[in-house]
Structure 1
Amino acid sequence: MTSEIRPRLSAGSAAVRVGVIYLVARVVTTAFLLLAAELSGFDSRFGPEPTLADFVLGWDAQWYWLVAEVGYPIELPLTDSGAVAENAWAFMPLYPQLAKIVALPFGTFAAGAFVVSIVAGYAASLVLFHLLRSRIDDTAALWAVTFFVAGPLAALFQVGYAETLYLLWLFLALWCVVHRRYVWLYGLIPVMGFTRPGVLAFALFLGLFGIWRWFTRRREPLPAREIVHIVALGLLAAVVGFAWQAIAGLLTGDSGAYLATELAWRRNWIPGEAVFFPFEGFLSATAFWFGAVWHLPVELGYIVLGASVLAVAAVLLFVPQVKRLGVEVRLWSASYVVYLLLVFFPQSSLFRLLVPLSPLWGALALPRSNVWRGGVLVACLVGQWWWIYNMYALGNVIWQVP
């Protein structure tokens, strides 16, 4: 949809080029993981001399393995104080079940999880290229993919997390919206919703997109069938977004089972009875990090939080490179940020939860300077090593949780 006519890569050439970039990035990430294994010691969560398979099954991957092998608890586990303890209901079923099936020829869940993550990661990278090339040229889109696959969170392509599978569905869904292929979304939204949390952000996105389409209908005709699709898909995304809570409540007999499970993790940072209301997570976390941990004025934390929100809004509204990516990417990014502000308790996992904003890599790829693009790539690799070193070589304090 770019106004400039440029030579385009064929689908086959694009698949090969993205594949080469992806393969090189995976070799680099593997080298980083091997180095992290060498540096892992007795104080590390993984102990001395862990293997790559240990990393694949580290952290949340243990929960996915548990879901695949045991399923979900019908009776919620409780702590000594009687509160709901951490349990498998916090993790959606599609990724672990798919990994379990893929693992059958290999005999281990770790192998299945690795294959699903790395294959889905390549597919997501290819879809991201096609999503971005709708707005920017092929060279910039390839650079954006490079930043994506070599970025600070690149280890997720090779460990037992559901992120890459979710990103595949998400990028496909965004591509469908950009190209007005709404019918495919009736299948993509449910698989997205049962891969990991976040489909409610897509419901908000569809609502905002529908409003934008209404106000721009003179520039781009808005037929009745498109209105029906947008409204129906928004409702579907909202229903899917709450479906897992309903399923958990039905099977456990506790209507608040899912929410209580999610809040169980928050007690790792703030002991006591956890409560939820919109924006509460960011407000209480700001007081915790600035006051209890960093010993800074809590008021300063609220100022930083407010300024950060305004800065993100300004970037999405006014930065030319971001505007070049199209209204769909900008509305999705805004919707996802609002979703995080509403429901998330920010801690070190925030870096991982920002990965669905990956289409914004396209904005950093737009400047044509090789110095700039090379500098961004170096920053990505430095960030990747920092993240792997802290989360896998160390992983022994509260801010080293992926």
Structure 2
Amino acid sequence: MSSALRRSDDPRETGRGRLAGPPGVLRALAVFAAVRLAGVVVLVLVDAVAGRPFGMSLAHRWDSVWYLHIAEHGYGTRLRITASGAVQTDWAFFPLYPGLIRALRGLLPVTAGRAGLLIAWGSAALAAWGIYAIGHHLYGRRVATALVALWAVLPQSVVLGLAYTEPLFTACAAWSLYAVLRRRWPAAGSLALLAGLARPNGIAAAVAVAVTAVHEVVRQRGRASPGLLAGAVLGPLGWAGYVLWVGGRTGDLVHGYLQVQSAWNSHLDLSAGPLRFLESMPLRGSWVTYPVAVFVVVAGIVSFCRLYLDRAPLPLLVFAGVLLLLVVAVSGPFSCKPRFLLPAFPLLIPPARALARAWPSVPSPRARLLCGGLTAVSLVYGAYLASLAGQPL
């Protein structure tokens, strides 16, 4: 079935008439929570062995430091001068996550780090719920469960337990895409707006909503409901609004945000930067982090091709395609690219469907061993990535 708004063939498996809470979601969320809670425990233990303060790797490394500083002191209060002389400012970081941290601190007597973790963990659970809802709506319970389980054990899924923005972005994007699939256009646009306020690549959600809306207008021979138009218009407002605000602060409305990102060595170069990096990779960097990053990106490209050949719904294809394009075509630390692909959960649909077909109703010892092995690798590599690796996460 090639429709952009494809549903499961079995009406008992679609959960029609309900926005959320399809059968089996609690079990899938329990599996997800168990895996990611284990990841948090491993990180805490690694920090303790290394003599670091409690929760150091969870909330006070790499980008987390910038988000927490913005939450406590606002924008324009922190900059860093690199070895090349570039001035990196906090304007590169989008406002939704630090804004929520500040709001939560106003409600609860918690530190910024703890507020950031509470928001990230809650968002990760909401994201897993949204991913399950999409998988159940399209393919049924077993595929949905496999989809959430695979998302939980990705090599880069350690980020879901840190004070980072990927959980928040994925939650907004997943429920926006679910709303598109259910033709709830104002909700889809509003959630895409929030996704655009969460991360620079949040524009992918707005593009998915807009492209699907245009497809619907064409399919209906030019007829468009007010709700559909509202959703398409709302989607990009968050992302565009922040980019223009940064442009206004820098004095260059159109190019200001691009200049800010350029100082972070992030600019569109149509994959020339990544290719130059790959050429020199054997001569520098980690012998673990970079090969894993290359494997994840290549696997993402292969999975996207399979997703296209399987004629997946249009909004999922567009969303995953835009995220993948940004990973391939935008320069930046190559070790971060798997993290940028973490929200692209539709790329896991082909392996999730294959796993659901091969998985018996009662898992065999071999299947349990496979799942245990994937979980162990994810936890060990995640702890290394977040606590021990010298490359940016």
TM over 0.5: yes
Partner secondary structure for residue 334 of structure 2: coil
Residue 373 of structure 2, aligned match among 367, 378, 384:
378
Residue 36 of structure 2, aligned match among 23, 26, 44:
26
Q: Report what 2:103 is aligned to.
A: 101
Task: Provide the C-alpha distance between the structure 2 equivalents of 1:12 and 1:238, rounded to a whole number of angstroms.
Answer: 29
Partner secondary structure for residue 350 of structure 1: helix
* Structure 1 residues 355 and 309: alpha-carbon distance in aligned structure 2, compared to 1, 3 A threshold: closer
The CA deviation at 1:99 is: 1.5
Is it true that 1:336 corresponds to 2:344 in the alignment?
no
Partner secondary structure for residue 148 of structure 1: helix
Q: Report what 1:387 is aligned to.
A: 382
Specify the code of the residue in structure 1 equivalent to 2:99. Q
Task: Provide the C-alpha distance between the structure 1 equivalents of 2:384 and 2:268, rounded to a whole number of angstroms.
Answer: 35
* Structure 1 residues 315 and 7: alpha-carbon distance in aligned structure 2, compared to 1, 3 A threshold: closer
Partner secondary structure for residue 3 of structure 1: coil
Following superposition of structure 1 onto structure 2, how do residues 217-296 of structure 1 map, counting pairs within 5 Å? 217=219, 221=220, 224-226=223-225, 233-255=231-253, 256-266=255-265, 276-279=267-270, 282-291=271-280, 294=283
Specify the code of the residue in structure 1 equivalent to 2:275. T
The CA deviation at 1:20 is: 1.9
The CA deviation at 1:364 is: 1.8
Q: Is the 8 A contact 1:75 1:252 kept in 2?
A: no
Gaps of 5+ in 1: 41-47, 267-273, 296-303
Q: Is the 8 A contact 2:172 2:191 kept in 1?
A: yes
TM-score (ref. length: structure 1):
0.78
Q: Is the 8 A contact 1:201 1:339 kept in 2?
A: no
The CA deviation at 1:373 is: 7.9
Task: Provide the C-alpha distance between the structure 2 equivalents of 1:225 and 1:201, rounded to a whole number of angstroms.
Answer: 22
* Structure 1 residues 15 and 178: alpha-carbon distance in aligned structure 2, compared to 1, 3 A threshold: same
Q: Is the 8 A contact 1:200 1:339 kept in 2?
A: no
Is it true that 1:159 corresponds to 2:162 in the alignment?
yes
Specify the code of the residue in structure 2 equivalent to 1:379. L
Task: Provide the C-alpha distance between the structure 2 equivalents of 1:207 and 1:23, rounded to a whole number of angstroms.
Answer: 33
Aligned residues: 363
Q: Report what 2:341 is aligned to.
A: 354
Q: Report what 1:183 is aligned to.
A: 186
The CA deviation at 1:96 is: 1.0
Task: Provide the C-alpha distance between the structure 1 equivalents of 2:79 and 2:171, rounded to a whole number of angstroms.
Answer: 32
Tell me whether 236-245 or 351-360 shows the greater mean CA deviation: 236-245
Q: Report what 1:300 is aligned to.
A: none
Task: Provide the C-alpha distance between the structure 2 equivalents of 1:361 and 1:164, rounded to a whole number of angstroms.
Answer: 16
Q: Is the 8 A contact 2:22 2:133 kept in 1?
A: no
Q: Report what 2:21 is aligned to.
A: 11
Q: Is the 8 A contact 1:193 1:241 kept in 2?
A: yes
Partner secondary structure for residue 11 of structure 1: coil
Task: Provide the C-alpha distance between the structure 1 equivalents of 2:66 and 2:132, rounded to a whole number of angstroms.
Answer: 31
Specify the code of the residue in structure 2 equivalent to 1:354. L
* Structure 1 residues 254 and 79: alpha-carbon distance in aligned structure 2, compared to 1, 3 A threshold: farther
The CA deviation at 1:353 is: 0.1
* Structure 1 residues 81 and 385: alpha-carbon distance in aligned structure 2, compared to 1, 3 A threshold: closer
Task: Provide the C-alpha distance between the structure 2 equivalents of 1:55 and 1:76, rounded to a whole number of angstroms.
Answer: 22
Identity across aligned pairs (percent)? 20
Q: Report what 1:61 is aligned to.
A: 64
Partner secondary structure for residue 261 of structure 2: helix
Task: Provide the C-alpha distance between the structure 2 equivalents of 1:384 and 1:165, rounded to a whole number of angstroms.
Answer: 21
Q: Report what 1:316 is aligned to.
A: 307
Specify the code of the residue in structure 2 equivalent to 1:264. A
Q: Is the 8 A contact 1:316 1:334 kept in 2?
A: no
* Structure 1 residues 207 and 338: alpha-carbon distance in aligned structure 2, compared to 1, 3 A threshold: farther
Task: Provide the C-alpha distance between the structure 1 equivalents of 2:130 and 2:143, rounded to a whole number of angstroms.
Answer: 15
Residue 129 of structure 1, aligned match among 123, 129, 132:
132
Partner secondary structure for residue 139 of structure 2: coil
* Structure 1 residues 307 and 391: alpha-carbon distance in aligned structure 2, compared to 1, 3 A threshold: closer
Specify the code of the residue in structure 1 equivalent to 2:348. W
Q: Is the 8 A contact 2:151 2:345 kept in 1?
A: yes
Q: Is the 8 A contact 2:39 2:382 kept in 1?
A: no
